Structure 1
Amino acid sequence: MTKFLTIFTLILLVGPIQVSSKCTCESQEEDGNISEALKYKLVSIASILLASALGVSLPFLVKRFRFLNPEKDIYFLIKAFAAGIILATGFVHVLPDAYQSLNSPCLSENPWGKFPFMGFVAMVSAIGTLLMEAFAAHVHGSISVLEESNSSDLVRHRIISQVLELGIVVHSVIIGISLGASESTKTIKPLVAALSFHQLFEGMGLGGCISQAKFNHRTVAIMVLFFSLTTPTGIAVGIGISKMYNVNSPTALIVQGLLLSASAGILIYMAFVDLLAADFMSKKMLSNFRLQVGASFTLLLGTCCMSLLAKWGES
């Protein structure tokens, strides 16, 4: 399964490199802006790599540090704040830039001006993420049936963790490439913050599954590295793609717009379903009114902070 994940990731990473364009449209970006964007992209690789490694490793450290226990109230408040940041990034930052790319005058009216591709791709990417998670849940249920026939519990956790990592790899590569391919600092700045939070908490979920599966040390190291490096590698691939053609060429605008739309759909889905719904409908949250109020406040605080950055990015 680990070999399959590696091969599948290589296909995702290499595929977009085949896209190039010699078409040109008069560039409206200055070299200084492109250089500044590259600087933020390099920072994003380090930031997201650190957040990913910390998140996926945290479950292994929880056993020694009680204050990191996921059952603590502060954990729910931080997750709600992170979800707010991710939501605002998807709705306020990424979707508008995707719309701008796909509605550029450099693109032909037919078909780009006659169909809302931005919303369609965002919807499809959210559904794709849902189906991937549903597949993982199906595997979970199928193996639970086998458990009743005296099958090992470890088998269930091991398959679930590997299927989960496969799903994470898919959307992490897409989001990473969209960030790396973007030449807009207005998009890159908030996306870096959102992805850092996203990778931190998603890594915690994956790390918990890996911990329960009790893999040997070599397999654990491979899976941790695999998760930690996927998004930074996607960003590096996106940087390479962005240098292959004029940022305002039709192909560049289409690729960037579609990737940003897919990223927005994934971010919005992950924030609502994996972070908010799972916590706000949990027994702990429903039985604690003060925690509900606190989580609601931190959620709104996160959305407000990231939304204000949209105004700051224009200045």
Structure 2
Amino acid sequence: MSDDTSCGAAHNEETHFNLRVGAIFILLVTSGAGSLFPVLAARSKLLNVPVAIFEFAKYFGSGVIIATAFIHLLAPAFEALTSPCLTGVWQTYPWAPAISMMSVFAIFFVELAAFRWGSSRLQKVGGVHYDHHGHEQHAGATHAAHGPETTTDDIPSSSKEKSTNDLEALRPHAHNHEHSHNRGDHSSALAQIVAVVILEFGVIFHSLFIGLTLAVDPQFITLFVVIVFHQTFEGLGLGARLSQLRLPPSYSWAPYGGAIAYAMTTPLGLAIGLGVRQTYNPGSTTASIVSGVLDATSSGILLYTGLVELLAHEFLFNKEMHNASTAKVAYAGGCVVIGAGVMALLGRWA
């Protein structure tokens, strides 16, 4: 590697090579289990998952996403972009928080544009649709992107009957078919998919670099054990978000596709890392800049998603939570804190 792209030569460990190869398949299974469980629990009657478990996974996952943004993305971005290998403009400004802030604003404006475009389309076709958070509203009605939820008086009687069972009310398929013929569903579905693609972007690049690091890190055993839990919990947070999608039948594949894409990312990064382990230098100038910028960008995405899309949406603007008992609100908040705490603790090792 040339001197202008490297800060020292690569001296990567060759130990535990067979186990590193096996880790590809282990991480594929554990990551997939974490991301697919909430999706299957919300959509499959065969699993018969209790509502309490599903709700725990949803709130726990919100905490995981927020802790991932702060501990597993923003902190490494600071470290990478303040590396002594970097010179020039990289040493004259705190780029990690600046890039993260720009990412937050970028995601906000993208979501705002998508919401306005979808609302405009739906006003033209009329009828009832679901916004990108899965809440029913009538075309032409004013509704802030994260404003108060639709009241039960606005919901057709057929939907009320379907909501009598708590578990059915949590399952997207209980609502998807009523207006599946409405052209507005497709605009709503596209807005939801855009929101999830943004979240996937924030998670996937992080997972890719985790795999690359695992392929060459000398402390492989410790890091591998931590990453198994890390990817499982992070998958749980992503899966909880995917499980909340309200899509027409033609888009029913999207939650499963998102969960599978996440499950494949870290194994893919690990496989690439093993293939280039003789030349890849995670401490090089180029690697530090690329990983730092992507980590900072991803942290902004997950911060916006975790704080606005998940916490504000589930607690502040959720009419069900407004009317819930103090014990239920405390339980939900406790699940968020536990998820964040567990993920933050894993940051001690990875």
Q: Same fold (TM over 0.5)?
A: yes
Q: For the structure 1 residues 42 and 259, does the alpha-carbon distance in structure 2 shift closer, same or farther, using more than 3 Å as the test?
A: farther
Contact (CA 8 Å) 1:80, 1:299: kept in 2 or not? Answer: yes
Q: For the structure 1 residues 134 and 46, does the alpha-carbon distance in structure 2 shift closer, same or farther, using more than 3 Å as the test?
A: farther
Counterpart among 284, 287, 294 of residue 323 in structure 2: 287
Within-5 A mapping of 1:175-194: 175-182=203-210, 183=213, 185=223, 188=227, 191-194=230-233
Counterpart among 279, 288, 295 of residue 253 in structure 1: 288
1:160 correspondence with 2:178: no
Distance 2:284 2:234 in 1: 27
Q: For the structure 1 residues 83 and 123, does the alpha-carbon distance in structure 2 shift closer, same or farther, using more than 3 Å as the test?
A: same
Q: For the structure 1 residues 133 and 96, does the alpha-carbon distance in structure 2 shift closer, same or farther, using more than 3 Å as the test?
A: same
Q: For the structure 1 residues 226 and 193, does the alpha-carbon distance in structure 2 shift closer, same or farther, using more than 3 Å as the test?
A: closer
Contact (CA 8 Å) 1:87, 1:271: kept in 2 or not? Answer: yes
Contact (CA 8 Å) 2:30, 2:228: kept in 1 or not? Answer: no
- My pick for the range that moved more, 51-60 or 34-43, is 34-43
Note the aligned Cα RMSD (angstroms): 3.5
Distance 1:43 1:27 in 2: 30
Per-residue deviation, 1:149 = 7.1
Contact (CA 8 Å) 1:180, 1:235: kept in 2 or not? Answer: yes
Q: Please name the residue that 1:101 is paired with.
A: 80
Which string of whole-angstrom CA distances, capped at 9 and with x for unpartnered residues, describes residues 110-152 of structure 1? Answer: 2111112111221222233333333332244224323437997
Q: Please name the residue that 1:273 is paired with.
A: 308
Q: Please name the residue that 1:61 is paired with.
A: 44
Per-residue deviation, 1:181 = 2.2
Q: Please name the residue that 2:119 is paired with.
A: 141
1:118 correspondence with 2:115: no
Q: For the structure 1 residues 92 and 168, does the alpha-carbon distance in structure 2 shift closer, same or farther, using more than 3 Å as the test?
A: same
1:26 correspondence with 2:8: yes
Q: Please name the residue that 1:9 is paired with.
A: none
Contact (CA 8 Å) 2:201, 2:298: kept in 1 or not? Answer: no
Per-residue deviation, 1:73 = 5.9
Contact (CA 8 Å) 1:89, 1:190: kept in 2 or not? Answer: no
Per-residue deviation, 1:251 = 0.6
1:88 correspondence with 2:54: no
Counterpart among 41, 47, 61 of residue 30 in structure 2: 47
Distance 1:123 1:291 in 2: 33
If you compute each CA radius of gyration, which structure gives the higher value, 1 or 2? 2
Contact (CA 8 Å) 2:66, 2:306: kept in 1 or not? Answer: yes
Whose helix proportion is higher, 1 or 2?
A: 1
1:204 correspondence with 2:239: no
Per-residue deviation, 1:38 = 7.3
Contact (CA 8 Å) 1:136, 1:160: kept in 2 or not? Answer: no
Q: Please name the residue that 1:226 is paired with.
A: 257
1:31 match: secondary structure: coil
Per-residue deviation, 1:252 = 0.7
Per-residue deviation, 1:26 = 2.1
Q: For the structure 1 residues 38 and 104, does the alpha-carbon distance in structure 2 shift closer, same or farther, using more than 3 Å as the test?
A: farther
Contact (CA 8 Å) 2:35, 2:263: kept in 1 or not? Answer: no
Contact (CA 8 Å) 2:126, 2:184: kept in 1 or not? Answer: no
1:248 match: secondary structure: coil
Counterpart among 276, 293, 297 of residue 262 in structure 1: 297
Contact (CA 8 Å) 1:89, 1:194: kept in 2 or not? Answer: no
Distance 1:165 1:298 in 2: 26
Q: For the structure 1 residues 166 and 149, does the alpha-carbon distance in structure 2 shift closer, same or farther, using more than 3 Å as the test?
A: closer
Aligned length: 281
Letter in 2 for 1:290: A
Per-residue deviation, 1:104 = 0.9
Between the aligned residues of both structures, percent identity stands at: 21
- My pick for the range that moved more, 250-259 or 272-281, is 272-281
Unaligned runs of 5+ in 1: 1-19
Contact (CA 8 Å) 1:129, 1:266: kept in 2 or not? Answer: yes
Q: For the structure 1 residues 166 and 22, does the alpha-carbon distance in structure 2 shift closer, same or farther, using more than 3 Å as the test?
A: farther
Distance 2:228 2:47 in 1: 33
Q: For the structure 1 residues 147 and 55, does the alpha-carbon distance in structure 2 shift closer, same or farther, using more than 3 Å as the test?
A: farther
Q: Please name the residue that 2:156 is paired with.
A: none
